[in-house]
Amino acid sequence: MVSNFSDQKIIDSWEKNVEPWVLSVREGEIQSRVLVTNHAIVDVVLAEKPKTVLDIGCGEGWLVRELAAAGVDTLGIDAIPALIASAEKAGGGRFKVLPIEHLSSQTLGETYDALVCNFSLLGKECVDQLFQLAPSLLKEGGSIIVQTVHPSMGGGEGYEDAWREESWVGFNRQFSDPAPWYFRTLESWVALFSRADLKFVSLREPRHPETGFPVSIIFVGMKVSEHVDICR
Amino acid sequence: MVSNFSDQKIIDSWEKNVEPWVLSVREGEIQSRVLVTNHAIVDVVLAEKPKTVLDIGCGEGWLVRELAAAGVDTLGIDAIPALIASAEKAGGGRFKVLPIEHLSSQTLGETYDALVCNFSLLGKECVDQLFQLAPSLLKEGGSIIVQTVHPSMGGGEGYEDAWREESWVGFNRQFSDPAPWYFRTLESWVALFSRADLKFVSLREPRHPETGFPVSIIFVGMKVSEHVDICR
């Protein structure tokens, strides 16, 4: 029996919602993505001028296709086989079924100029694991770029790290078996970077063009082995 | 004629409100300070284990007295002569009248393990100046610690860098001629650190014990000349 609030439950639930999700993304039905956050993540990634990118939790693959079209060699990975199947069917990039738990530079046989996680860090332990792994997946000076729900815009559910239930509010299509997600405070997000010895470089707050308030937050960290470059 | 929204207007207005301010602080009349933010800033500063601290915008001097009592050699500076007079009268630390505009390691004749700004970065240009100056005031590995209003808890006034009017709401005493203050988004606060080449180390969100929501934010940055320590 899988707990209602666990990393495994997220996978189980998303496996049941692949079809409405793929259609929601591809038909441009999620307003905040179309208006704000899709452009925002592409801009931040391209500003880092990476040659190679790993898109962690790539879903049906739109960001991989965008980056590949801009000339960036991008691999998309996701834990859900049906999402990767859908990504491969659309083409325009490299894709692989790979849950964070099995992620390593050995499994992948390469390292990257940038890791991107676009609204894909939904879990608890697996996110802690990912940050511990991240430096080993990055080339020296490489970036980790994370877009997620803005912690301060979460509203009235309290302000502490905790599991929450996805409501699927704002989606047109029929979703079932809501996936849980693990809420982190701003303080906790920033601490993930420092615990992993990733230099916290910047923070962006993409804003809704009408309300003027942030609809998401983007963190950029960097792998800096402070000892290397200088003494050679 | 001083503009209603300028660094100079902040000084002018605070000069008229020294007496109610000193009494409000010393009588413990500002609930969020007594319950949350006073302890929070002291804890964060002492956790850095500084031997010497510069308290920038020290006001009537309570934080200087706290740190000095904990064995930290602390100098408090403020632009308002009457606040420094009140601080010196209370004793328990070193104080000096010095606006940020005149601040430099030459003027002070010393550098510090930590700079602390506790709800004192209210202006626009002078805050930009301070961040540019900060590395020259710090010893290698030294910290800059800034507590301020949490940008995301500001409510309905829009979310962009802009001058705002202090309402003095929540104060018991008679304040006059409200001081303006310059609101910065979270993104802008973090950018101040990176523009000044200060390593962004951590971020704290001291929370109200009853509501559970943050009442302030504390940023910690560090002066790291990445080239020095390693190659010796």
pLDDT score at B224: 92
Most confident among A37-51, A151-165, B152-166, B176-190 (mean pLDDT): A37-51
DSSP state letter for A90: H
CA–CA min distance A232, chain B (Å): 9
| Nearest alpha-carbon partner for B138 in B108, B103, B113, B102 | B113
Q: Tell me, which fold does domain A2-222 have in CATH?
A: Rossmann fold (3.40.50)
Q: Give the residue from chain A lying closest to B192, CA to CA.
A: A202
Instruction: Find which of B190, B208, B216, B227 to mutate to test the A interface (most A CBs within 10 Å of its CB).
Output: B190
Cα(B157)–Cα(A115) distance, integer angstroms: 35
| Token pair belonging to B9 | 């207007």
Q: Give the residue from chain A lying closest to B203, CA to CA.
A: A187
Cβ contact, residue pair B159, A227, below 8 Å: no
Residues of chain A with pLDDT under 50: 228-232
CA–CA min distance B231, chain A (Å): 6
Cβ contact, residue pair B203, A212, below 8 Å: no
Counting Cβ atoms within 10 Å, is residue A81 exposed (0-12), middle (13-18) or buried (19+)?
Answer: exposed
pLDDT score at B228: 44
- Residue B167, pLDDT above cutoff 80: no
Q: Kindly give the residue spans of alpha helices, DSSP state H, lying in chain A.
A: 7-15, 18-26, 31-32, 38-47, 62-69, 81-90, 105-108, 125-137, 186-195, 228-231
Counting Cβ atoms within 10 Å, is residue B81 exposed (0-12), middle (13-18) or buried (19+)?
Answer: exposed
Q: Is A152 on the interface with B (CB under 8 A)?
A: yes
pLDDT score at B155: 58
Residues of B in contact with A158 (CB under 8 A): 212-213
DSSP state letter for B179: P
pLDDT tens digits for range B109-145: 999 999 999 999 999 999 999 999 999 999 999 999 9
Among the partner-chain residues A158, A186, A227, the one whose CB lies closest to the CB of B205 is A186
Could you give phi then psi for residue B74, rounded to 5 degrees?
-125, 130
Residues of B in contact with A230 (CB under 8 A): 226-227, 230-231
Average pLDDT over residues B198-214: 94
Question: Residue A104 to residues A73, A93, A99: CA-CA distances in angstroms?
Answer: 18, 20, 10
Q: Give the residue from chain B lying closest to A213, CA to CA.
A: B159
Interface contacts A/B by beta carbons within 8 Å: 72
Q: Give the residue from chain A lying closest to B225, CA to CA.
A: A226
Residues of B in contact with A231 (CB under 8 A): 230-231
CA–CA min distance A43, chain B (Å): 16
pLDDT score at B178: 84
SS3 B115: strand
Cα(A63)–Cα(A69) distance, integer angstroms: 10
Instruction: Tell me the percentage of chain B whose pLDDT exceeds 90.
Output: 84
Calculate the average pLDDT of chain B. Answer: 92
pLDDT score at A112: 98
Confidence of residue B158 (pLDDT cuts 50, 70, 90): confident
Q: Say if CB A76 and CB A112 are below 8 A apart.
A: no
Q: Say if CB A70 and CB A93 are below 8 A apart.
A: no
pLDDT score at B230: 45
pLDDT score at A229: 45
- Residue B20, pLDDT above cutoff 50: yes
Domain parsing of chain A, residue ranges: 2-222
Residue reference for tokens 């332990």: A125
- Residue B157, pLDDT above cutoff 80: no
Residues of B in contact with A199 (CB under 8 A): 199
Cα(A207)–Cα(A122) distance, integer angstroms: 21
Higher pLDDT, A24 or B3: A24
pLDDT tens digits for range B51-61: 999 999 999 99
Taking phi over 0 as left and psi of -120 to 50 as alpha, with beta for the rest, B212 belongs to left
pLDDT tens digits for range B65-106: 999 999 999 999 999 999 999 999 999 999 999 999 999 999
Q: Give the residue from chain A lying closest to B198, CA to CA.
A: A201
Q: Give the residue from chain B lying closest to A160, CA to CA.
A: B212
CA B2 to chain CA centroid, nearest Å: 24
Q: Is A203 on the interface with B (CB under 8 A)?
A: yes
Among the partner-chain residues B202, B213, B227, the one whose CB lies closest to the CB of A190 is B202
| Nearest alpha-carbon partner for A200 in B108, B198, B185, B89 | B198
Portion 155-194 of B in contact with A at CB < 8 A: 158-160, 185-187, 190-191, 194
Average pLDDT over residues B18-22: 93
Q: Could you give the ipTM of this predicted complex?
A: 0.91
Q: Is B204 on the interface with A (CB under 8 A)?
A: yes
pLDDT score at A1: 66
Record the pTM.
Answer: 0.93
Instruction: Find which of B43, B143, B152, B220 to mutate to test the A interface (most A CBs within 10 Å of its CB).
Output: B152
